[in-house]
Amino acid sequence: MNKYEVLKHYFGYTTFRGGQEQLIDAALDGRDVLGIMPTGGGKSLCYQIPALMFSGITVVVSPLISLMKDQVMALKNVNVAAAYINSSLTFEQLLKVYDNLRLGIYKILYIAPERLESGGFAELARQLPISMIAVDEAHCISQWGNDFRPSYLKIVDFINSLSARPVVTAFTATATEQVREDIEAKLRLRSPLRVITGFDRPNLKFEVRQPRKRSAEILELVDKRRDKSGIIYCMTRSNVEKICTLLEENGFSATRYHAGLDDAERQRNQEDFVYDRKTVMVATNAFGMGIDKSNVSFVIHYNMPMSLEAYYQEAGRAGRDGEPAECILLYSPSDIHTAKTLIEYSEESDAITEEEREKLRRRDYERLNRMIEYCKTTKCLRSNILDYFGQEHKDFCDNCGNCGTVFKQKDITVEAQKIFSCVRRVYSRLGYHVGIAAIVRVLHGSEEKRIVTWGLHELSTYGIMSDVPRTYISDIINYLVDLGYAVKDTTYGALVLTDRADAVLFGGERVVMEYREVEPKVSKNKKSKEKQKQQQQQQVTDSDLYERLRKLRFEIANAQNIPAYIVFSNATLAEMASKKPTAMWEFMEISGVGRTKAELYGDRFIEAIRNYINA
């Protein structure tokens, strides 16, 4: 079989994605390669296809048990002889794998880096015909990355201990220059072919929202995405608990993941999510590395993350199957306060000097500021991200919250003046600064006891904004903080004016607020009513069939005890629902249907489609 035949036969695809073919060709030619592609870019095929074509065995170094398990399960399901070696195996299971290795049964062996040098594996490996070593998640070898794993440094010793040097290939989604150089140096790659593909993920729709009440927003968002698999990231464990409970109380199928749960429960919850027994995962950032679940349709951030790298990594867990997916960040100005507190009080090891600590802190603030910029920009969000990764792009992507929104401007100079003079008056009355909530009460004319005991009801600014809702006043104050006219003190959250406020009060400076118009702008190429209606009907019928196919997939997955996305991806189901193949040859033309899967599942899916058409 040539590489195209392998691609169709085992994986069911007819075309390669960007970068795959070059990397595969080079490896087949015996050249080392380094592939840098975004999450979901299709790195696995870049070593799996050569592995299937080489005469010997391919050893894949992978950092996590769950990753290996997932991949081996998927390979076995299409009749590829594969296995893994990691700490989850019993001694008997390990011996069995060793026996099979000696017999030359496997094409692909996944192994944890710690295992390369232990349990006699290295001795055994010297007798095996190893054609290729593939290092997955290769950034783990670099101290510059976020997931440094010291055991990755042993890989090169292992390679050197082999009787003949196999082709060495490495893959990662981390694009920074430092990490790339580190990988090449530490793995001693020999003039590798480097392929760095674009970092854009066109199927992801990015959006930033600033809701009044985030918990209500979450309920609404999840409700509109019923039956879709999604992740909700929260900054703290207590938020995870709160949101998960909220969802469960409202009848949603949710589970949770954070470092405070014991191993067994974390494992169970993760599997419930991966196997689609629970549709929503609420988690801290402890969840995700090693999750290859391809049918995640949305990732919602309940809090703003600490950096854009972290955000893109977490949000990028949506839509690995290439289907449209959403990444929604719920932003609140209070997140900035929380993040700053986290930076100020972060526990670095005692081993570093005060100077180094200061350097780290400055770096964290820079990252945070870049993240805040993303939350506030009114320009294309995708452009904002790609700028960060130094990639060229169009000005508008037409697939993000900002590209679909018209921003309106409103002069809020008078409001700002009222607010600023109120802050000044309160300060001169009390001799200290108070928080936003108290300022809002004074401006709104609250009769609360505290306000009266403090004598704030006697101020001339008392009640001068009683004609607007309190939430509107606090929105404006937060906006003024964003613009730098005032700051929130990091310890107590007290509101303090900066010098810039004087320019508005006394210097004639005007303040303009940009806000989102509620109705999204109408698409330029308006479709005719008739066409829209037709399309809607088409979609309704398709999604009925899609639902049936999804149920069938779920039944099959349960019976086989594998995750549903290993049976077929969402993209494959969607194509079936629209093309409606009723003969085996048609069925085999669907992307994602290879030989084995057609044999395994073809009849049942075709039957379901026929029944649907004839009903």
DSSP structure class, residue 10 = I
Rank residues 45 and 380 by Cβ distance to Zn ion and give the closer one: 380
Neighbour tally for 445: CB within 10 Å:
15
Residue number closest to Mg ion, CB atom = 43
Taking the complex as a whole, how short is the minimal distance between the CB of residue 61 and ligand ADP, in angstroms? 14
Q: Give, in order, the Cα–Cα distances in Å from 450 to each of 432, 438, 441.
A: 15, 9, 10
Taking the complex as a whole, how short is the minimal distance between the CB of residue 117 and Zn ion, in angstroms? 48
Q: Which does 321 bind (CB under 5 to 8 A by kind): Zn ion, Mg ion, ligand ADP, none?
A: ligand ADP
Of residues 404 through 443, those in contact with ligand ADP by CB under 6 A are none
Taking the complex as a whole, how short is the minimal distance between the CB of residue 201 and ligand ADP, in angstroms? 10
Pairing of the two strands 82-85 and 167-172 = unpaired
From residue 21 to residue 40, what is the string marking binding to ligand ADP with x (rule CB under 6 A)? ----------------x-xx
Pairing of the two strands 325-330 and 495-497 = unpaired
Rank residues 173 and 397 by Cβ distance to Zn ion and give the closer one: 397
Strand-pair partners of 217: none
Taking the complex as a whole, how short is the minimal distance between the CB of residue 318 and Zn ion, in angstroms? 16
Phi, psi of 455 (to 5 degrees): 75, 15
Taking the complex as a whole, how short is the minimal distance between the CB of residue 294 and ligand ADP, in angstroms? 4
Among 122, 112, 121, smallest CA distance to 87 is for: 112
Distance of alpha carbon 432 from its chain centroid, rounded?
A: 43
Rank residues 268 and 516 by Cβ distance to Zn ion and give the closer one: 516
Q: Which does 135 bind (CB under 5 to 8 A by kind): ligand ADP, Mg ion, Zn ion, none?
A: none
Phi, psi of 311 (to 5 degrees): -60, -45
Taking the complex as a whole, how short is the minimal distance between the CB of residue 268 and ligand ADP, in angstroms? 24
CA angle 487, 492, 497 (to 5 degrees): 25
User: Of 41-49, 363-371, 378-386, 606-614, which part binds ligand ADP (CB under 6 A)?
Assistant: 41-49
Q: Which does 382 bind (CB under 5 to 8 A by kind): ligand ADP, Zn ion, Mg ion, none?
A: Zn ion
Q: Give, in order, the Cα–Cα distances in Å from 486 to each of 301, 347, 424, 438, 585.
A: 27, 29, 12, 15, 68
Among 115, 54, 106, 41, smallest CA distance to 80 is for: 106
Rounded CA separation 107/48 (Å): 9
44 forms part of the interface with ligand ADP (CB under 6 A):
yes
42 forms part of the interface with ligand ADP (CB under 6 A):
yes
Rank residues 156 and 400 by Cβ distance to Zn ion and give the closer one: 400
Long-range contacts of 565-569 (CB under 8 A, 24+ apart): 565/293, 565/294, 565/295, 565/321, 566/70, 566/73, 566/74, 566/77, 567/77, 567/597, 567/601, 568/592, 568/593, 568/597, 568/601, 569/294, 569/295, 569/321, 569/322, 569/323
State the residue for tokens 């060495």.
168
Of residues 301 through 340, those in contact with Mg ion by CB under 5 A are none
Rounded CA separation 483/419 (Å): 14
Taking the complex as a whole, how short is the minimal distance between the CB of residue 45 and ligand ADP, in angstroms? 5
By CB under 6 A, name the one of 41, 113, 288, 581 that touches ligand ADP.
Answer: 41
Among 274, 218, 273, smallest CA distance to 247 is for: 218
By CB under 6 A, name the one of 66, 255, 474, 569 that touches ligand ADP.
Answer: 569
45 forms part of the interface with ligand ADP (CB under 6 A):
yes
Strand-pair partners of 496: 487
Residue type, 135: V
Question: Which residues fall within 8 angstroms of residue 349, CB to CB, at 6 or more apart?
Answer: none
Rank residues 58 and 402 by Cβ distance to Zn ion and give the closer one: 402
CA angle 279, 285, 288 (to 5 degrees): 55
State the residue for tokens 């805040």.
372
Rank residues 399 and 596 by Cβ distance to Zn ion and give the closer one: 399
Q: Which does 424 bind (CB under 5 to 8 A by kind): Mg ion, ligand ADP, Zn ion, none?
A: none
State the residue for tokens 């004074």.
442
Site residues (CB under 5 A) for Zn ion?
380, 382, 397, 400, 403
From residue 314 to residue 333, what is the string marking binding to ligand ADP with x (rule CB under 6 A)? ------xx------------
Taking the complex as a whole, how short is the minimal distance between the CB of residue 402 and Zn ion, in angstroms? 6
Taking the complex as a whole, how short is the minimal distance between the CB of residue 294 and Zn ion, in angstroms? 24
Contact status, residue 77 vs residue 51, Cβ threshold 8 Å: no
13 forms part of the interface with ligand ADP (CB under 6 A):
yes
Total residues at interface with ligand ADP (CB under 6 A): 17
Rank residues 17 and 361 by Cβ distance to ligand ADP and give the closer one: 17
Rank residues 46 and 372 by Cβ distance to Mg ion and give the closer one: 46
Of residues 28 through 87, those in contact with Mg ion by CB under 5 A are 43
Residue number closest to ligand ADP, CB atom = 42
Contact status, residue 162 vs residue 133, Cβ threshold 8 Å: no
**E-strand stretches of 163-222:** 167-172, 193-196, 204-209
Rank residues 348 and 398 by Cβ distance to Zn ion and give the closer one: 398
Q: Which does 180 bind (CB under 5 to 8 A by kind): Zn ion, Mg ion, ligand ADP, none?
A: none
Taking the complex as a whole, how short is the minimal distance between the CB of residue 394 and Zn ion, in angstroms? 9
16 forms part of the interface with ligand ADP (CB under 6 A):
yes
Taking the complex as a whole, how short is the minimal distance between the CB of residue 339 and Zn ion, in angstroms? 25
From residue 254 to residue 293, what is the string marking binding to ligand ADP with x (rule CB under 6 A)? --------------------------------------x-
SS3 69: helix
Rank residues 382 and 597 by Cβ distance to Zn ion and give the closer one: 382
By CB under 6 A, name the one of 169, 172, 294, 474 that touches ligand ADP.
Answer: 294
Q: Which does 569 bind (CB under 5 to 8 A by kind): ligand ADP, Mg ion, Zn ion, none?
A: ligand ADP
Rounded CA separation 311/585 (Å): 43
Q: Please give the residue ranges that form the binding site for ligand ADP (CB under 6 A).
A: 13, 16-17, 20, 37, 39-45, 292, 294, 320-321, 569
Q: Please give the residue ranges that form the binding site for Mg ion (CB under 5 A).
A: 43
